[in-house]
Structure 1
Amino acid sequence: MKLHSDGSIKAIYSATQGKKQYRPLMSSKIPAGFPSPAQDYIEGKLDLNEYLIVHPASTFFVRVDGYSMQGAGIMPDDILIVDRALEATNNRIVIAIVDGELTVKRLKIKGKKYYLVPENDEFEPILIQEGMDFIIWGVVTYVIHKV
């Protein structure tokens, strides 16, 4: 796919299936602090691919470039996990193609009107109007970023 972006998307990568990589999963939830990583706390092993990816054939990773979604906790260089098999419903964060440009925004549906709404007051919502080339490319399911 040739990448044309409004500046909010830097790159797109497909999900690959390969060797499972399990990591220890702690059995207790951590409200504040961190328990000793003693073996008593290990619940089992977790493969993040199994946890984060429901539809491997239709899941992609998208690298973010821009600040239009910072209010939703999405920052530049974050990686979005995007599932193209999910239905885009009201209030979901989506990757959309608007007049040939890819963008990440929150989908708002009000009656028969569709809006792509940024999570930053410095950016304007996009009202989808008749005659515009508009496609929902996928639904964002998870955001990965460094803290």
Structure 2
Amino acid sequence: MSQAQIKIERSTVKIPLLRTRLTAGFPKPSDDYFQKRLDPKDLLEINPATTFYMRISGDTWNEYGIFDGDHVVIDRSIPPSNGKIAVVTYAGNFTLRRIGKIGDRFCFLVKDQNSNLIPIEPDSEVEIWGIISFGIHRF
């Protein structure tokens, strides 16, 4: 599907945002009053023209808080930078890679057999498709 074929929908759902922060206890009666209504796209800083959701399959990224079945918010307008998690395409498939930097060039960080992160140079068939900006995890 080309970007021209993608229908951009505007969110009209606004969810109440309470004034106080959540604590591990009972809420105060004064918390019955909400601060404002918050549109989820504002909370997630979504740019409708460059943002996509994808569902994660697999448990390779659990240590980064990305679990099987989670949704991730991918923004194609965010430039790659050191430490970001990127959605990359390789041989027609999508996968995740952590971005590293060697000098002024980007690389991908992968684990060796001892679970140490080592940099690898991306080959010409790998393209950074977008950067993960948020993960949506259901408890």
Q: TM-score per shorter chain, which class? A: 0.7 to 0.9
Q: For 2:69 and 2:15, how far apart are their aligned partners in 1?
A: 24
Mean CA deviation greater in 33-42 or 103-112: 33-42
Q: Alpha carbon RMSD of aligned pairs, Å?
A: 2.8
Q: In structure 2, what residue type is equivalent to 1:85?
A: S
Q: Which has the higher contact order (CA 8 A, sep 6+)?
A: 1
Residue 90 (structure 1) shift = 0.6
Q: TM-score, normalised by structure 2?
A: 0.78
Q: In structure 1, what residue type is equivalent to 2:36?
A: G
Cα 1:101/1:127, change in 2 over 3 Å = farther
| Other-structure match for 1:93 | 85
Q: For 1:125 and 1:61, how far apart are their aligned partners in 2?
A: 28
Q: TM-score, normalised by structure 1?
A: 0.75
Q: Is the 8 A contact 2:11 2:41 kept in 1?
A: no
Structure 1: any 5+ residue segments left out of the alignment?
2-13
Residue 101 (structure 1) shift = 2.7
The correspondence for 1:67, drawn from 59, 65, 68, is 59
Structure 2: any 5+ residue segments left out of the alignment?
none
Mean CA deviation greater in 73-82 or 46-55: 46-55
Is 1:110 aligned with 2:102?
yes
Q: Please list every run of at least 4 consecutive aligned residues from structure 1 whose deviation after the TM superposition is greater than 3 angstroms.
A: 36-41
Question: How many pairs are equivalent?
Answer: 132
